[in-house]
A and B are shown apart, each in its own frame.
Chain A
Amino acid sequence: MMALVGAALASPVSSGIGAPATVFGGAVTTEAVGTIELRGWRTSERVAVGGGLDLPVTLWVVTGVPDTLRGAGSAEVLLFEQGPWRLTGGGSTRLGVQHDGLGTLLSWDLAPGVFGGLRGTRGHVGLAARWEQPLASVIWFSEDVRRAFEGSSTPPPRDGVVPLGTGRLAVGVDGRLAITPRVGLVAVAEVLVTPDRVALAWDEELVMGVWPGRLSVGVVVGPVRARRTAR
């Protein structure tokens, strides 16, 4: 079957399998994500909480089928601020659903991370690092998956929970720009790395591994930048 042929685009990080030697040394993937984020500040002005939606642009624009959706909740704590410099720590948790040829997946992850950068009058820009750890996924298998077991002595898989998937490290540039005091734009460009080498081969060669990273652009509704810490 030639179904998979050609999925390997001309990849600048192409490598052999079994002896991976990519530029980034880990799994690669390419995602384009649109985001809608709602944020608010607690009265201490050191803590931000928010929630929003991740919209898989690559899927929605190309296929026109919004059968994939991911929601996120996040919290951020101001750890250090000196002049225009600031360091925050925090995390997010995401809940996503995906319906595809394998079935329906309901997934949940946790992503702690840090941000360090410059705060300006209209936003901030800096470096961000985040570890994305899948906590659990529930899979309801499709009929196509069950049909693969026809004639086999192995029973088809039962719908179930997959605990703790392969984690990924996301490192990149995070910028936010206020259009109005409560509406802004966010853009994040990240490199994705995972220590799993099988995943490397899979992502890089088969699918969309031309760029081992993720570009997210979106709209923020709520405080776009941190206020000065009360002194």
Chain B
Amino acid sequence: MHRWTPLLAIGCLDPSSLVPATVVDDPTLPSADIVVNGVSRKIHLREFGDPDAPTLLVMPGAACDVVPYLVLSELSDAWHVVLWDPRGNGLSERVPAEELAWVDVPLEIEAVRQLVAGDRPVVVVGHSWSAAMLVTWLARFREHAAGLVLIEPPALRQEDQEAYAIPVGVLSDPYLDLTWSNWSVGPVDHDWMDFKMTGILQPGVPTFHCDPDDPPFWPIARPGALASLVWEDTVFAGGRFDYPFDEGLGETDVPVLLLGSGCSVIGADFQEEVNLSLFARGEVGRIDGVGHRMMVERPDAFVDTVRAWLERAVP
């Protein structure tokens, strides 16, 4: 139900109030400092469980933050569960575009891994874009990988990406609304950019949902608009992915769970057909009755599936 404030009762809006504060402006948020390419930045970091337990490191997808994945904290009875918002995303510090280069993403993942696990290998969890990012990290830092949970990544091989292009509703109501509103409120800084991106989060990609017209609510506190744009500029061309996420991967015996839904176009069937053959110790997990947002649609089934695989595949 929309709540109207009478026109005469409203005052000037503080742009910094459009989105939740980052760790830079809210010292009560849990945070840590990481160094990437010699630059120290403050990240939003959430930790659960015994720090001496094996680490499960969770990286949110693009235009996203840790909130939908907090359900994985249920695994903290056996795991040291760590979730973080990458630089420029969620509640982490906003950084200039030159610090958001796609090729540096593996360096950030590795910096966080070192921070929370030292020399120990970790199991990493990524969703959608971040699942692809974790594959690029695996290619460079495989000695630090104990396992990967890749939740509905896009086609990882460049040669598959044209055949499996994902139709996106750029002519959908939210995108057009966003464009149209620029005549009056343009995205002039990070606060405005992130705020305006909030307006397109809920519909998402229609073909990722069981009911394209009624997607599940996606609980994001704050997307990272500039980061998403920079990444998109690198890995996207012609309206689809065009990037070799598997470059340098070679043959790997790291256990990998490709977790897919029953509804999404990049769900379990897609993962089996397109991505599974990349991993010698890969297997596909399937959760039916859900789409790309499985962790909020059936959180219990999601956690149980990940837990079962961890117990079975990761020593």
Give the interface of A toward B (CB within 8 A): 1-10, 14-19, 27, 29-31, 56, 58-59, 62-63, 65, 68, 70, 94, 96, 98, 100-109, 132, 134, 137-140, 142-145, 147-163, 165-166, 168, 194, 196, 198-199, 201-203, 205-208
Contacts and interface: CB of A to CB of B under 8 A. Distances in A.
Contacts, number: 281
Nearest to B11: A160
Given A31-B179, A132-B183, A153-B29, A198 B188 contact: yes
22 contacts: A1-B128, A2-B62, A2-B292, A3-B218, A5-B62, A7-B232, A63-B173, A98-B184, A106-B7, A139-B185, A144-B198, A148-B19, A148-B219, A148-B222, A153-B28, A154-B17, A157-B17, A158-B5, A158-B10, A162-B12, A198-B188, A208-B170
B179 A138 contact: no
Contact of B233 (A8, A105, A145, A208): A8
B154 A2 contact: yes
Contacts of A109: 183-184
B54 interface: no
- For the side of the interface on B, what is the size category? 35 or more
Given A102-B198, A162-B12, 5 more contacts: A4-B63, A98-B184, A101-B177, A102-B181, A205-B229
Interface centre among A9, A18, A142 (most CB of B within 10 A): A18
Contact of A29 (B61, B98, B179, B232): B179
A27 B186 contact: yes
Contacts of B21: 152-154
Interface string B1-32: 11111010011111101111100001011000
Given A17-B229, A199-B187, A202-B196, A100 B178 contact: yes
A160 B18 CA distance: 11
Contacts of B188: 165-166, 196, 198-199
Nearest to A64: B173
A18 B98 contact: yes
A106 B10 CA distance: 13
A105 B182 contact: no
B63 A201 contact: no
A157 B18 contact: yes
B61 A199 contact: no
